[in-house]
Chains A and B, each alone.
Chain A
Amino acid sequence: TQLLEQSPQFLSIQEGENLTVYCNSSSVFSSLQWYRQEPGEGPVLLVTVVTGGEVKKLKRLTFQFGDARKDSSLHITAAQPGDTGLYLCAGAGGGSNYKLTFGKGTLLTVNP
């Protein structure tokens, strides 16, 4: 069974701080996606990374796909309370029949 390990599981920081969330696997994925989920809602896609070494920026969020396509990171600069939520990474492909394999998520709380 493929596994995507996310760390940290919980993160509580003050507004204005920077943070990085990691997503690691022993499997190679054809693409990796990051989602954010808020209470009572479904996950919302933030970005898809496809190429090893790829870096994508979305305002204050920077996403990186590892060279070997086994890991990814999400960096948030100057976090704001509106960034609070559950961040999920998900891998596609990699020899599995699963549409997507999800990590268990990082619950981020940004305090004002």
Chain B
Amino acid sequence: KAGVTQTPRYLIKTRGQQVTLSCSPISGHRSVSWYQQTPGQGLQFLFEYFSETQRNKGNFPGRFSGRQFSNSRSEMNVSTLELGDSALYLCASSVPTVGGEVFGPGTRLTVL
């Protein structure tokens, strides 16, 4: 069974640009969540999508957005990038009745 895949794995952008990250969940998983991981703040929840609808949202500015497609694949977008957005962005999928997230390897975003 294929795991959660994220593309790209590494990304370098400059301040003010925007970026789109992609996530393909495990087949059959309809819930997709996004997290930001930094050395200072650790892992922080961004948002969760289920059946193409945003179900939960963390405490991040509106520059962070996401969407989910009918095949459960998800994208997150960050507009007007800031230096502080440099982080590892992790996508996770899950089956709600089972509990526990299955994480992808992450996308390492560097903002210069």
Contact = CB atoms under 8 A, between A and B. Distances in A.
Interface in B65-112: 90, 92, 99-106
Interface in A62-112: 88, 90, 92, 97-105
Given A40-B105, A43-B103, A92-B99, A1 B90 contact: no
A42 B33 contact: no
A98 B56 contact: yes
Classify chain A: how many residues form its interface, as a range. Answer: 20 to 34
Most buried by B among A31, A35, A41, A98: A98
B105 A45 contact: no
Chain A interface, DSSP helix/strand/loop, else mixed:
loop
Contact of B56 (A48, A97, A104): A97
Interface of B: 4, 33, 35, 41-45, 48, 56-59, 90, 92, 99-106
